[in-house]
Amino acid sequence: MPGNTSRTSAAQTGQKWLSRALCASFVLTTLQLIAPADAVAEPGTIQDRFEFSGFGTLGIARSDTNDARFVRDQTQPRGIGKSPNAKLDSLLGLQAYFRATDSLELVAQAISRYGAQDDFRPELSWAFAKYSITPNLTLRGGRMGTEFYMLADSRHVGYSYLTVRPQVDFFGALAFHHVDGADLTGTVALGDGIVKGKVFAGRANEVTPIGSEFFSLRGNPMAGGYLDYQQGNWQWRATFAQMTFKHDLPRPVADLRAALLATGIASAASAAEQIALEDTRSRFYSVGGVYDRGPLQVQAMLSRIRHESASYQDSQSGYVLAGYRLGQVTPFGGYSWTRSKAKEVSSGLPNFVPAFAQINDGLAGSLARVHTDQKTYTLGARWDFRQNMALKSQLDMIRGKPDSIFLYPTSNPGAFDGKLNIFSLALDFVF
């Protein structure tokens, strides 16, 4: 089963990346040590060309039910319940930056967060070279963040936004954070505004957990781009991205497909084909707007996801978020929603044959697993109590249909009533 990556090989890959990241940081540190220690910090001195920085979050969250386990995004295998838990939002990121020449920059960034392997294993999230062809045209190559939606490539940097975490209704379905490839970004003035465009292409290099299995996204071609217009207090962006799957889903969907094919019945084989993922595409469309004027900031985004395979449901999501700074404290409020539409897939197998009824149940279950229909009201405050640190508290009131379970890796269908309240506290910092 090509999509079924074992834990062992995933762990080895994780360690390989960790050792690579450590090697890179060792080289950078050594280079910094050989730089003259008494160099005056002026543009051009070697010391000034290196920058080490980092960001992190210490977060704690709990919900008011154990019937559906809340996660931050699809890469987290086990969600949280009624007992307070720090794994959801806590993370640490480190960045090494080197300005090789005026037009060539090198960036490496590693993040330790609760992810696909059910632990806080560090991951090399960025490692790229950025070349400025002109001051307003840049080419990057290597491993970079995926900007499937506006702000998606900074969603781990809690200090950079108002809320404890990016809106889960909107960003929670994204199971990938980086792409190995290249991108080209151009900026031009237009009137008194600025137009910015970006195109990217590359391959995914991540796995996402499904039950106790891994669904591999490795090698999946990704491509996309955006067009952005910024004028005065406004910024608008339209984004398109797509991914082509190269692996099928692991168990239990893999077993279900095998069982459908094993019947030898044409309609069942056709159902197996409809839920196959390999060589199908998913397309992501979004538009977003940000209004930012002094203490006031408002952002709104809409997205639409279209999957060729019936293994995932087409969905629409959106959110509005507003905050107003009063001294050191910024209260904020938001509303988000996500809705998906089930695809009709029938095996054509009669239920009076017990073995067939079992297959039909499996098929119905796998189609129901990916359904979502919910909205969330968010209220909270960010307190910038000291330089480079912010304390946040937030309440999310999720109101969904009982069958809205796609965003929760484990749930008790029947027991879960679609309602979740999440209480969160977070300390965000940068250094």
Partner 1 sequence: MGYLPRLLLLLHIALASGGAQADLVVVTSQKSGIEYLSRQEVVNLYMGRLRTNTAGNTATPLDLAVDTPERVEFYRLLVNKEAADIKAYWSRLVFSGGARPPQSAENIDELIRMISQTPGLVGYLPRKQLDNRLKVIYEFSVSP
Q: Is 160 in the site for partner 1 (CB under 8 A)?
A: yes
Binding residue for partner 1, selected from 9, 19, 53, 103, defined by CB under 8 A: 53
- Among 7, 20, 251, 325, the residue binding partner 1 under the rule CB under 8 A is 325
Q: Which residues are CB-neighbours of 258 under 8 A, at least 6 positions away? A: none
Residue 48 interacts with partner 1 (CB under 8 A)?
yes
Only one of the segments 46-54, 202-210, 345-353, 364-372 lies at the binding site for partner 1 (rule: CB under 8 A); that segment is: 46-54
Which C-beta is closer to partner 1: that of 85 or that of 205? 205
State the binding string over 132-151 for partner 1 (x if CB under 8 A, else -): ---xx---x---xx-----x
Instruction: Check: CB of residue 170 under 8 Å from CB of residue 303.
Output: yes
Q: How far apart are the first and last CA of the chain?
A: 44
Name residue, tokens 């960010």. 382
Considering only the stretches 27-35, 155-163, 207-215, 259-267, report the one whose residues sit in contact with partner 1 under the rule CB under 8 A: 155-163
416 forms part of the interface with partner 1 (CB under 8 A):
no
Q: Find where tokens 């730089």 sit.
A: 35
Q: Is 30 helix (H, G, I), strand (E, B) or coil?
A: helix
Chain CA centroid to CA 401, Å: 24
Cβ-based nearer residue to partner 1, 101 or 387: 387
Options 166-174, 279-287, 289-297, 359-367: segment touching partner 1 (CB under 8 A):
289-297
Give me the residues paired with residue 4 across strands: 215
Residues 104-133 close enough to bind partner 1 by CB under 8 A: 105, 107, 109, 126, 128, 130
Tell me, what amino acid is at 215? Answer: F
Q: Does 38 bind partner 1 (CB under 8 A)?
A: no
- What are the CA-CA distances from residue 191 to residues 11, 188, 236, 279, 287 (Å)? 52, 10, 15, 44, 22
Nearer to partner 1, 29 or 160 (CB): 160
Angle (nearest 5°) at CA 161 between 321 and 207: 100
Question: Are the C-beta atoms of residues 369 and 406 closer than 8 Å to each other?
Answer: yes
CA–CA separation, 409 vs 68, rounded Å? 8
Q: Residue numbers of the site for partner 1 (CB under 8 A)?
A: 42-43, 48, 51, 53, 55, 93, 95, 97, 105, 107, 109, 126, 128, 130, 135-136, 140, 144-145, 151, 153-154, 156-157, 159-161, 187, 189, 192, 194, 196, 230, 232, 293-295, 325-328, 384, 387-388, 390, 430
